Chain A
Amino acid sequence: MSTDHRLGPVVTDAARRRIGTVTASYRSDPVSLRQIREYIAGIGGRPEGIDEARTDEPICAPPLFFHAACRPVVAEDDLLPDGQYPFLGVPGVSGRTMAGGHKYEVVAPVRVGDVLTVTERLTDITEKNGSSGPLVFVTTEAEYHNQARKLVGRYRQTVIFL
Chain B
Amino acid sequence: MHPFTLSTVDDPAAAIAAHARDPGLAFIAGGTDLIGLMKDHVALPERLLDINRLPNMARIEAVPDGGLRIGALTRMSDVAADMEVRRRFPVIAEALLFSASGQLRNMASMGGNIMQRTRCAYFRDEDDPPCNKRRPGSGCSARHGLNRNHAIFGWSESCVATNPSDVAVALAALDATIVVRGTAGERAIPSTDFHPLPGDAPERDNALGRGDLILSIEVPACAEGRASHYLKIRDRQSYEFALVSAAAAVATDGRSIRSARLALGGVAHKPWRLRAAETALRGASLDDIDTLRAAIARSFTEARPLAQNAFKIDLAQRVALRALQTAGARA
Say whether A associates with B. no
Q: Contact residues of A with B, CB < 8 Å?
A: none
